[in-house]
Structure 1
Amino acid sequence: MPLTDYQGPSASLTNFGRSILSIRRDQVHSMENTREPTAQEVELDAFQRLVADRFHDLSAVGSNELLSLSWVRKLLDVFLCCQEEFRVLLLNNKGYMVRAPMDRLISEFFERSVKALDVCNAIRDGIEQIRQWQKQLEIVLCALDNQRSLGEGQFRRAKKALIDLAIGMLDEKESNTAISHRNRSFGRNNAQKDHKSIGHFRSLSWSVSRSWSAAKQLQAIGNNLAAPKGNEIVATNGLSLALFTMSSVLLFVMWALVAAIPCQDRGLQTHFSIPRHYIWAVPILSLHERILEESKKRERRNACGLMKEIHQIEKCARHMNELTDFQFPLTEEKQGDVKQRVEELRGVFEAVKDGLDPLERQVREVFHRIVRSRTEGLDSFGRAMQHD
């Protein structure tokens, strides 16, 4: 479905596909379709609108910006925004959460969110892997940039760094394994100040194991994820639809992170069972299709990550490597070629250098927000059950 089918924020409540209001009207066969919506109905439909609007903005980018570092950071901003609105929505309706079938649906959602924590850990390892490549780029720049004259020694040093870079980008499994054993993820450094909110999640705050698979983890997050039926939506006062919406957002965001950033056993075959009549489905499915198309391009098929800057590193390193086998002393023309390639390399280096730390902070925030939301939800719903 083209993006032009998306109606934007001005769409009325009755145009939200199978909205909560229209489903309820169908169920009761009411002839009076002009009644005022309840505050809860408005709140739930507003959540659907928020998700649609934010993902529409994400999908509006051109192909040159899709999967760039800045786009991935926007994706995480969107997730955090949706997660916060969803958290508030649940807390405002916690009395419904202990009733069937919501008690089962909310339990399934929290299990999916726990599985997403491992994806966050794997992405942290992938970011660290990109940092190792950044160090090799820096060696090349130090060897060849701002030199009055380029000699054989500088080229030898640059050549070694480029070889190390090529090996690191090709040997994905071994590189990830080494990083997993060398680094710890989100829980350890902040264990003292976050121990109350993390609690029993400490076992999940380590880097992923050697046998961990991103593809299998995404499959586990998506297992049994299906749109609620009309009678389920009515029985839960629309909350089951909000749960399906947030579960779909969670699955897509984790899938997109795995697509963009190096992970163990990356796989993009995850199926998205999202009916297109939900307005937020249009931009999400559009992004899913565009990212899949990107992965099928000849130059991207064997990439360890689809992030734009990773592709730029590969291209710059390949071009630079072609310039390191020269006869010395270099002619002015050859020195000019080298300087041009060095400038290209510096542009990629600066983009990665400026973007990785903020990206890691966002992934860390996603991890902790999921932990806090689940802990808060379980505590709140437990108290509601006691009062019942």
Structure 2
Amino acid sequence: IHSMESPNGSTGQEIELEAFQRQVAERFRDLAPSDSDDLLSIPWIRKLLDTFLCCQEDFRVIVFENKSQLNKPPMDKYITDYFERSLKALDVCNAIRDGIERIRQWQKQLEIVLCALDSQRTIGEGQFRRAKKALIDLAIGMLDEKESSSSVAHRNRSFVRNNAQRELRSLSHFRSLSWSVSRTWSAARQIHAIASNLVAPKTNEIISTNRLNVAVFTMSHVLLFVVWALVAAIPCQDRGLQIHLSVTKQFVWADPILSLHERILDESKKRDRRNSCGLLKEIHGIEKCARHMNELTDSVHFPLTMQKEAEVKERVQELALVHKAIKDG
């Protein structure tokens, strides 16, 4: 029943609902990148959102065509629960919007570094001081909001110049004031609320609703996974990622969604990603390039040797590639 494999003589509604589940499965299979580096990149996130919108549109058509059944039990509860989950997802989207704005601010800091260390002209001490200040501001912006100032400084000592740590301690509290969500709001709790009581429909309810509740269950899981993936990728307040997707592989779309869920969790467990403010590939690129630039600027003495200047220009080119990826995204 759960796999929606209809026998011969299926009604038009059964065929439509079966097709919906197959389409969801195919779309999420298409999201599995052949190259692991593409996972959680900006293009992948765009594709994820496109997938969600396509699924949502198909679901909207199903709901519209079956309006007469939505006020009858148990469908009334299924559809009400879905709308409540959608409202919770909108709250998460507000926090995600803040995270995207953060990334835009980091992009501006990258632009300052790139302008200061423009490879088309001779690099002087003034340009280096300007680049160093931008790198410090970038480091401050990427601090994890939840951490206390002392633990933040400890966690990011490899990322931030030692002589900037006092400034980091005094400014680390500033970040939380700019979020549009309250200080007690938690993305992790919100996702757990979306996942709460999301269980597979019972056989008798599947029969009584002509399988319409399976479509709601399917779309609820699509919503849950997409919101969870966005929180994993984008800076967000209290980004706890440990959530259990309670769905069996009897559903045709379960395997591709569970596979993506597992791959993202594996990514979050990598040593260089555990303390990241977001798993977005481009954020990792910013952290890596900025760390290299910080290490380089600490070792620079003027006048620059030809070897050191060549090294600076190489690092600037790496930073330019990351900046372009964010700008184009």
TM-score by length of 1: 0.76
Structure 1 position 19, deviation (Å): 3.4
Name the amino acid aligned to 1:258. V
Partner residue of 1:340 out of 301, 314, 324: 314
- In structure 2, the partner of 1:18 is 2
Structure 1 position 132, deviation (Å): 1.1
Matches within 5 A, 1:231-246: 231-246=204-219
Runs of 4 or more consecutive aligned structure 1 residues displaced over 6 Å after TM superposition:
none
Q: Deviations over 1:278-302 (max 9, x none)?
A: 1100010000000000000010000
Name the amino acid aligned to 2:77. R
Matched, 1:309 2:282: yes
Name the amino acid aligned to 2:232. A
- In structure 2, the partner of 1:352 is 326
Partner residue of 2:241 out of 268, 273, 296: 268
Q: Deviations over 1:224-270 (max 9, x none)?
A: 00010111111110011001000000000000000000000110011
Say if 2:141 and 2:175, in contact at 8 Å, map to a contact too.
Answer: no
Matches within 5 A, 1:1-388: 18-20=2-4, 35-173=8-146, 174=173, 177-180=176-179, 207-325=180-298, 326-355=300-329
Name the amino acid aligned to 1:151. G
Name the amino acid aligned to 1:239. L
Say if 1:218 and 1:255, in contact at 8 Å, map to a contact too.
Answer: yes
Say if 1:129 and 1:179, in contact at 8 Å, map to a contact too.
Answer: no
Structure 2 unpaired stretches of 5+: 147-172
Say if 2:33 and 2:39, in contact at 8 Å, map to a contact too.
Answer: no
Q: Deviations over 1:150-180 (max 9, x none)?
A: 1111111101111111121114344652332
| Higher helix content, 1 or 2 | 1
Residue 115 of structure 1 aligns to a residue whose secondary structure is: helix
Residue 41 of structure 1 aligns to a residue whose secondary structure is: helix
Measured on the aligned residues, the alpha-carbon RMSD in Å equals: 1.3
Structure 2: distance between partners of 1:18 and 1:218: 25
- In structure 1, the partner of 2:150 is none
Structure 2: distance between partners of 1:21 and 1:341: 55
Say if 2:293 and 2:315, in contact at 8 Å, map to a contact too.
Answer: yes
Residue 181 of structure 2 aligns to a residue whose secondary structure is: coil
Structure 1 residues 144, 70: closer, same or farther in 2, change over 3 A? same
After TM superposition, the structure 1 stretch with the greater mean CA deviation from structure 2, 170-179 or 247-256, is 170-179
Say if 2:3 and 2:250, in contact at 8 Å, map to a contact too.
Answer: no
Name the amino acid aligned to 1:177. S
Structure 1 position 350, deviation (Å): 1.1
- In structure 2, the partner of 1:195 is none
Structure 1 residues 310, 175: closer, same or farther in 2, change over 3 A? farther
- In structure 1, the partner of 2:154 is none
Structure 1 unpaired stretches of 5+: 1-16, 23-32, 181-206, 356-388
Structure 2: distance between partners of 1:271 and 1:244: 15
TM-score by length of 2: 0.89
Structure 1 position 313, deviation (Å): 0.2
After TM superposition, the structure 1 stretch with the greater mean CA deviation from structure 2, 244-253 or 322-331, is 322-331
Structure 2: distance between partners of 1:251 and 1:36: 34
Name the amino acid aligned to 1:354. D
Structure 1 position 20, deviation (Å): 3.8
Structure 2: distance between partners of 1:84 and 1:158: 47
Structure 1 residues 211, 138: closer, same or farther in 2, change over 3 A? same
